[in-house]
Amino acid sequence: MNIASLSTDQAPPISVPLRFFAVAPLFLVLAALMLAMSDGNPFAAAQTPALLAATHCITLGFMAMVMMGATQQILPVVIGSPLPASRWVAWLTSVPLGAGALSLCGGFMSGNARLFNLAWPLLGVAFLVFIIAAMLSLWRATAKNVTKTAILLSICALAAAVTLGILLARGFATGTALDYAALSVAHITMALGGWVMLLIVGVSYQVVPMFQITPAYPKWLSAVLAPALFAILLLNLALLLTGAEQTWIAAAGISFWLLAVCFALVTLKLQSQRRRKVADATLNFFRLGMVSLLLAALLWLVALLLPAFDMPLRLLSAIAFIAGFAMSLIQGMLYKIVPFLVWFHLFRGGVNAVKVGIPNMKEVIPERLMWWHLRLHGGTLLVALLAPWWNPAAWLAALGLLLQGILLGYAVFTGIAVYRRTLRRIELLAV
Ligand code: HEM
């Protein structure tokens, strides 16, 4: 692993990213409980209250929690520009994000307007603080690289997605007459296609070659992919909000998915060229993610050809994207980032750290646990894809999510325990 290109001296305290990673698995457990509390099969339609609540437990409580924590680590280390007041930013994003996600999900489950009215200001504060801090860090950064561009564009997409989400949630609370269908599609597109996709693209440019020891992404792809995806999303947003013809909206959608397919195929090809051919659970999380992205694209494109099956096919495409693509990659990255952070922050202990003998990255979280998680995650994804048609699969998907939350939480806390134990030994040696 080559970390020479990283500005490791700029890294924030380990407590900054770890607090986000420690809370996130709890929201997988909550998502499972929301699905289990549904009256009937929550996957039977796209917008059942339990599915909306579980979706936001996953997208806000889990994905946004991890991605915001990881960005607060990546910006200083990869771009070389620390976030201003990193500890304050960590508190002012993690706490309102957690509380806002809980109230929003409570609002979806109960339909209670007060919960929506509590959720949107809390989420507004969390995302506003994060977006301002991240933009300041990007603005101050002198480094120019493709990851910086992709992260910048992903944050712009996040700002749009959150604004639309807040409009919708406020509209739910006040009963304001809005074009909910168009706003909802615009919100989902900017959140998933914009923020999630662009951030994963930007981070992959660094993580895939560094952790998976592959060749770098080809320049023809890394230079144009993120700006092209963003331009298509902006065009799509304008078309949706101005009520343009479906043909144009479909054309923008097709262009987006073709670029996504290109990204997935290039990543899979790079992984097949990796220099160390040892079996690795995190690499397989990544591969599952890329195959799921291809599946999400296929389902979306087939939905265009078969309008009679539009709703279930688009729901399956969203499941493949969120549970298959985004969750696989985020979990795979967590299993790399947590051991890396533990090792790296202990390594900074200097001479005493060498004397105590710090664990290497493979010893922080047992590899066996990661393989079990991978199998469980693959099984959960499979049953979730069957859930719209087969009721027992919906309950199995909820059970899978519950077990994944427990397993991931255990893994993260194992990493934290290793860090604390070794640090204590280093400190004892120093006195
Ligand atoms: C401030 C934060 C957010 C708020 C207030 C919010 C609010 C909402 C609301 C009210 C809906 C229902 C739309 C409708 O049915 O008319 C919705 C749908 C949705 N949102 Fe969000 N959202 C937020 C952030 C996000 C993020 C960050 C993501 C993804 C990364 C996301 C993904 C989705 C998805 C996939 C749906 C459709 C769910 C389904 O149809 O079952 N949201 N959101």
Task: Please give the distance, rounded to the nearest whole angstrom, from the Cα atom of residue 165 to the centre of ligand 1.
Answer: 6
pTM comes to 0.94
Task: Please give the distance, rounded to the nearest whole angstrom, from the Cα atom of residue 161 to the centre of ligand 1.
Answer: 8
Task: Please give the distance, rounded to the nearest whole angstrom, from the Cα atom of residue 55 to the centre of ligand 1.
Answer: 8
pLDDT score for 2: 52
pLDDT score for 358: 78
The sign of the dihedral angle between the CA atoms of 309, 314, 315, 320 is: positive
Asked if the model's pLDDT at residue 265 lies above 70, the reply is yes
Instruction: Please tell me if the CB atom of residue 120 comes closer than 6 angstroms to any atom of ligand 1.
Output: yes
pLDDT tens, 25-70? 999 999 999 999 998 999 998 889 999 999 999 999 999 999 999 9
Q: In this structure, what token pair is assigned to residue 136?
A: 């300041």
Instruction: Please tell me if the CB atom of residue 161 comes closer than 6 angstroms to any atom of ligand 1.
Output: yes
pLDDT tens, 157-186? 999 999 999 999 999 999 899 899 999 999
- Mean pLDDT for all residues in the chain: 92
pLDDT score for 278: 80
Instruction: Please tell me if the CB atom of residue 60 comes closer than 6 angstroms to any atom of ligand 1.
Output: yes
Angstrom distance (rounded) from CA 102 to CA 116: 10
Reported in sequence order, the residue ranges of 203-320 that DSSP labels E, i.e. its strands, are: none
Asked if the model's pLDDT at residue 212 lies above 90, the reply is no
Asked if the model's pLDDT at residue 187 lies above 70, the reply is yes
pLDDT score for 157: 98
pLDDT score for 25: 98
pLDDT score for 3: 53
Is the separation of the CB atoms in 93 and 124 below 8 Å? no
Percentage of residues in the chain having pLDDT higher than 90: 77
Asked if the model's pLDDT at residue 430 lies above 80, the reply is no
Q: One-letter amino acid identity for 352?
A: N
pLDDT score for 9: 62
Q: In this structure, what token pair is assigned to residue 375?
A: 């199998």
Q: Nearest C-alpha to atom 20 of ligand 1 is from which residue? A: 188
Task: Please give the distance, rounded to the nearest whole angstrom, from the Cα atom of residue 172 to the centre of ligand 1.
Answer: 12
Instruction: Please tell me if the CB atom of residue 165 comes closer than 6 angstroms to any atom of ligand 1.
Output: yes
Instruction: Please tell me if the CB atom of residue 187 comes closer than 6 angstroms to any atom of ligand 1.
Output: yes
Angstrom distance (rounded) from CA 106 to CA 111: 8
